[in-house]
Amino acid sequence: MILDGQSPEAIAEAVRVLRAGGLVAFPTETVYGLGADATSDMAVGGIFKAKGRPADHPLIVHVAAGIKGTEALSRFAQPLPPFAQKLVQAFWPGPLTLIVTRQPGVAAAAAGGQDTIGLRCPSHPVAQALLEACAEQGVPGLAGPSANRFGRVSPTTAQHVHDEFGDALPVIDGGACEVGIESTIVDCSRGAPVLLRPGLITRAQIEAAAGERLSDREVLETPDPRASGTLEAHYAPNAKLRLMDAKAIQAGLDVLGPGAAHIAVWTRAEVRSHSQRVLQRRMPDDAVASAHQLFAVLREFDAQGVKLIWVETPPDTPEWEGVRDRLHRASMG
Ligand code: TXA
Ligand code: MG
């Protein structure tokens, strides 16, 4: 069931469901989340079940902005190190998730049993309206992974969520997600910032705001295998996805000729096929615009039943890192 995010009654209905331990999908500026009361281990158990996600994979907890958010921070997390406070100042509300030391005894299921917790304050107005209303009714945060089945492409519209979970799940419609790829994740629980997942907010922006060097997860002595956004094969469409340069894609299309079928291509350069049955979409030259389209394009190709997706490798520049990361993982699926 799709609910109108602009309607106060819809928000009130969502809060009722959440307070009763149920699940509600909600929009954020990155992707849609599958929400449950983060303080109820039973409610959070429903997320793992619905997603088919292993119970030791930690979830992100979403909190409201402003004073409610500050209260939630101290409820879920131990006092933040100064560099993490600077990141909160600079980027919240917005597409940045911080991994911080958890307050013992709270949100254990949401944290997948770890002694850290992922916190994020989304900027989407509908998400904020929902989180505010939840906080007022005694639900200080919503555990919310991306609202897709485990290992699949994240949803960027209410319809995507509906397609995956059916009519029984209430989905609050907030339009197409502006950012289109999941939040940047920075681990702040190890004394210095570590980038766990690239996103719209770049390394340079994080380093400037934190006033510290940002390390890569590869340098961790105890890398965290349970961070599922960091699994190699993730975000996979049903079709096989290959990253190639434009010349190789053109050469492949030339070899297949007029008989080419069940293939889709997503390229910045113009490529030509002699087959009407090759699906072609242009990737924008701009990284932000490409991120916005990425998951919707992959879902569209899947819906058309293609078997192969050829994507032109994005430029090797910092602003493309989030898109490159998602495409690389999709190509491992
Ligand atoms: O943009 C986003 O972050 C979206 C929207 C809905 O907010 N959420 C999202 O959630 O992408 P999810 O669960 O699909 O990805 C969260 C990632 C996972 O890779 C998870 O393992 C990692 O964050 N994570 C969460 N808590 C963690 C923790 N305590 N330690 C390490 N990794 C953690
Ligand atoms: Mg996900």
The torsion defined by the Cα of 149, 150, 153 and 154, in degrees rounded to 10, comes to 70
Residue 230 Cα to ligand 2 midpoint, Å, equals 10
Looking at ligand 1, which atom is closest to the CA of residue 228? 19
Q: Are 9 and 148 contained in the same domain?
A: yes
47 lines ligand 1 (CB under 6 A): no
Q: CA 193 to CA 217: how far, in whole Å? A: 10
Q: Which domain holds residue 266?
A: 240-331
Q: What residues flank ion ligand 2 with Cβ within 5 A?
A: 146
Predicted local distance difference test score (pLDDT) of residue 228: 46
Q: Which of 210, 226, 258 is the last residue of a domain?
A: 210
From the CA of 115, the nearest ligand is 1
Predicted local distance difference test score (pLDDT) of residue 2: 97
Domain presence at residue 229: no
Q: Are 181 and 258 contained in the same domain?
A: no
From the CA of 97, the nearest ligand is 1
Residue 211 Cα to ligand 2 midpoint, Å, equals 29
pLDDT tens, N- to C-terminus, the chain (333 residues) = 999 999 999 999 999 999 999 999 999 999 999 999 999 999 999 999 999 888 889 999 999 999 988 999 999 999 999 999 999 999 999 999 999 999 999 999 999 999 999 999 999 999 999 999 999 999 999 999 999 988 789 999 999 999 999 999 999 999 999 999 999 999 999 999 999 999 999 999 999 999 999 999 877 666 554 554 555 556 788 999 999 999 999 999 999 999 999 999 999 999 999 999 999 999 999 999 999 999 999 999 999 999 999 999 999 999 999 999 999 999 987
Among 257, 255, 253, 270, CA closest to 308 = 253
| Best residue among 23, 24, 60, 187 to mutate for probing ligand 1, ranked by most atoms within 8 Å of CB | 60
Number of domains composing the chain? 2
From the CA of 188, the nearest ligand is 1
94 lines ligand 1 (CB under 6 A): no
Predicted local distance difference test score (pLDDT) of residue 218: 78
Domain containing 317 — which CATH number? Answer: 3.40.50.11030
Predicted local distance difference test score (pLDDT) of residue 221: 63
Domain presence at residue 151: yes
Q: Are 183 and 247 contained in the same domain?
A: no
Domain presence at residue 225: no
Q: Are 197 and 304 contained in the same domain?
A: no
Domain presence at residue 227: no
Looking at ligand 1, which atom is closest to the CA of residue 226? 21
